[in-house]
């Protein structure tokens, strides 16, 4: 997840760049392979997260993953924008979700 979000951040706002597309698509492909999802199925970036709960003691980790999932979803929405206005709005969402993602990480993780 960190690698994907780092590529998005390093793109300097070019969320349609090859580096961003490669990182996001590789993550999507990993999800499909890890969970044995059929070809052609829409892959949710948060697939499988709903199986965890706070009782597992992983609430902090789940929150970090969910923040990264939001970045991937927002990038994908940016790709699917039908107008410049929609793309601009989606780009703002990507910036915001990146900020949330990096704020969930402690300094020791960098």
- pLDDT at position 109 over 70: no
% the chain with pLDDT above 90:
66
- pLDDT at position 110 over 50: no
Report the predicted TM-score, pTM, of the whole model to 2 decimal places.
Answer: 0.89
> Bigger pLDDT: 20 or 42?
20
What pLDDT sits at residue 84? 96
> Bigger pLDDT: 54 or 44?
44
Closest CA to 48 of 34, 63, 61, 29: 34
Output the CA–CA distances (angstroms, integers) from residue 16 to 1, 63, 109, in the order listed: 18, 26, 27
pLDDT band with cut points at 50, 70 and 90 for residue 107: very low
Rounded Cα–Cα distance for residues 80 and 8 (Å): 16
Output the CA–CA distances (angstroms, integers) from residue 94 to 12, 35, 100, 107, in the order listed: 11, 26, 10, 22
pLDDT band with cut points at 50, 70 and 90 for residue 57: confident
Rounded Cα–Cα distance for residues 8 and 11 (Å): 5
Instruction: Name the residue with tokens 């910036």.
Output: 95
Rounded Cα–Cα distance for residues 52 and 64 (Å): 13
- pLDDT at position 15 over 50: yes
Residue-wise pLDDT tens digits, 22-38: 999 999 999 999 989 98
What DSSP string runs through 17-53? SHHHHHHHHHHHHHHHHHHTPPTTPPPPTTTTGGG--
């Amino acid at each position: 997840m960190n690698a994907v979000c780092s590529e998005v951040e390093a793109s300097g706002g070019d969320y349609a760049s090859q580096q961003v597309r490669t990182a996001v698509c590789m993550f999507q492909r990993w999800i499909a392979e890890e969970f044995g999802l059929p070809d052609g199925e829409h892959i949710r970036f948060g697939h499988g997260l709903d199986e965890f709960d706070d009782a597992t003691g992983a609430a902090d980790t789940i929150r970090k993953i969910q923040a990264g999932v939001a970045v991937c979803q927002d990038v994908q929405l940016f790709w699917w924008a039908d107008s410049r206005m929609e793309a601009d709005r989606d780009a703002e969402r990507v910036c915001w979700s990146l900020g949330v993602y990096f704020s969930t990480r402690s300094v020791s993780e960098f």
